[in-house]
A and B are shown apart, each in its own frame.
Chain A
Amino acid sequence: MPLVRSDPTPFIASPAGATDLETLYRTHAPTVARWVARLAGPLVDVDDLVHEIFLVVRRRLPEFRGDAKVTTWLYRITERVAREGRRKDRFRRWFSRARHLEIQRTMTAPHLTPVDEFERRQASEMVYRILDRLPGKYRNVLILYELEELSGEEIATLTGLKPATVWVHLHRARARFIAEMKRDSGRST
């Protein structure tokens, strides 16, 4: 079933077959978007990054031989694009504070009162500030475990790490997170 019925042209053209890619997009785009939002933080444009990711998918699909699970493959692309997105965003934030505020507005949850929303926003910013100080391998494992609520085994499958390595990373990530959190709260008092 084409994504956009009114348009007869396949939206993703690839030697591997347009239908497969369409299916891939339709099936995985929401998950990819969630990963992006989690990994890249609240200050990036999720739509832009999802677009970037599926551009990479379209380019790389012919090389994908099915050695890894599709989700693992997609996660690896997402991780790289999200990392790049964060790097670009740091530059953008340095350039303009306006965008920062604009994206914050889009994060507003309608069911919260303005005060709740403000506090949530502050806390969310603090989380990502702390996470950004963690090494990438610890940061992502912690995000997948605590925010994405994946099990150790699921994280291992997704990241291609051994389950034992996932736990080591998670233990270390937690220790670093608490240390950084204390440092942050010490600085703010």
Chain B
Amino acid sequence: MKEPIARGRQSEADERAPIRHRWTTQPPGDTDEALAGALLRSAKVVQPFGTKNLAEVAARLRTRERRLPTKWAWQIAIAVGLLLFCGAVSAAVMHFLRVASVGPALSDTPVSMPTSGQVRRRHRVVAPPPDPAIAQVPEAPPVPGSTEEESESLPVKASPELPAAPLANPSALAQESRLLAGAIHKLRQERNPGQALAMLDQHRARFGAKGALEPEAEVTRIEALLRLGRHDQALGLLDAQVLTPAGVGREMLVARAELRAEKGRCGAALNDFNLLLATEASPDLVTERVLYGRATCRAQQGDWAGARSDLEHYLARFPKGRFADQARAAIGK
């Protein structure tokens, strides 16, 4: 044990020994010391603190204040500004995306279903005698957007069945997005479908069918038209769409089916309702509307057994549903 301690003491003693030669004064060579010396010599040059610097610092001291670090103040201000700008932009984008993707479900209030009487009047078709089992075809609920509380919104999201527009340049996209966001704001926040529609018209005039957000604009337009009670126009737009019962397509399909039923086009409406019911989906407001809507349409077409079956099915799944009372009344329960 003695040897390492002795070596340690020796090493300590070596370390206390004064150094006689500076590396920086060593002649050039390949030794570590010579290389270190060469390196350190390069760092020896410092700018002299001349009379100009002396006077400048003295002047600063005379003011008894710290000099504002102007350059850094600017850079920090720019950085903070950029951060705020980026934050605002990302917040706006997030808000837009949230509104677009998680927006309220398409009118959980269905488009009004025509009563059997209305259909008969419209088409002057002599309907078959009603099934005594169904006392009365349920009355249709109010049209979406006709009252403030009931006005709901279409989710603005590009549906897979809508053709994807070619991506415009970023500035055009930004303008388009601003315009569309404005329209959605008018529609949803200010509840002003007229102005929303005007903005959508501007969008159409500026970007036409080639706009990158044209599908979203179209969905917003349909919602605005529904809120304005311009069902014919809304249906015209929906008729032009190829819809599949998934995502937003599901919402749009049920709206189209209801509008078709309202216009007495029960055959076309039934196609949509059947398509929706053929797709497995967890019971939701859309399913509720589909079951009730199909029952109404079936009743319009004289398919009393089918209508009854749908209403019973409806009551089994949604015993406290919003059309439960009408369904019970219709089947005499």
Contacts and interface: CB of A to CB of B under 8 A. Distances in A.
A47 B64 contact: no
Contact of A92 (B37, B43, B54, B72): B72
A149 B58 contact: no
Contact of A149 (B24, B42, B79): B24
A123 B42 contact: yes
Nearest to B45: A109
Contact of B39 (A25, A37, A48, A181): A181
B19 A47 contact: no
Nearest to A52: B66
B44 interface: yes
Interface stretch (B10-18, B150-158, B232-240, B298-306): B10-18
Given A146-B22, A149-B24, A182-B32, A107 B54 contact: no
Interface string B36-75: 1111101111111100011111111110101101011001
Given A51-B67, A109-B45, A146-B40, A29 B19 contact: no
A171 B15 contact: yes
Contacts of A152: 18-19
B134 to A, nearest CB: 76
Chain B binding surface SS class: helix
Contacts of B57: 29, 47, 50-51, 54
A151 to B, nearest CB: 9
Interface string A100-133: 0000001101000000000110011011101000
A27 B32 CA distance: 38
Contact of B24 (A96, A99, A130, A147): A147
B75 A124 contact: no
Contacts of A161: none
B318 interface: no
Contacts of B24: 146-147, 149
Chain A binding surface SS class: helix
A20 to B, nearest CB: 14
A4 interface: yes
Interface residues of A, number: 57
B35 interface: yes
B55 A4 contact: yes
Nearest to A169: B15
B43 A11 contact: no
A70 interface: no
Interface of B: 12, 14-19, 22-24, 32-33, 35-40, 42-49, 53-62, 64, 66-67, 69, 71-72, 75, 79
21 contacts: A11-B62, A12-B62, A13-B64, A29-B49, A30-B48, A37-B46, A46-B47, A46-B49, A47-B56, A51-B67, A55-B61, A107-B47, A119-B42, A120-B45, A123-B38, A146-B40, A167-B17, A171-B15, A171-B19, A178-B33, A178-B36
Given A51-B61, A124-B43, 17 more contacts: A12-B61, A34-B46, A47-B56, A50-B49, A51-B67, A54-B61, A55-B61, A58-B61, A99-B71, A120-B42, A123-B39, A123-B43, A146-B22, A149-B24, A171-B15, A174-B23, A181-B39
Q: Give the 7 A-B residue pairs with the shortest CB-CB distance, closest first.
A: A33-B49, A123-B42, A11-B62, A37-B46, A127-B43, A171-B15, A124-B43
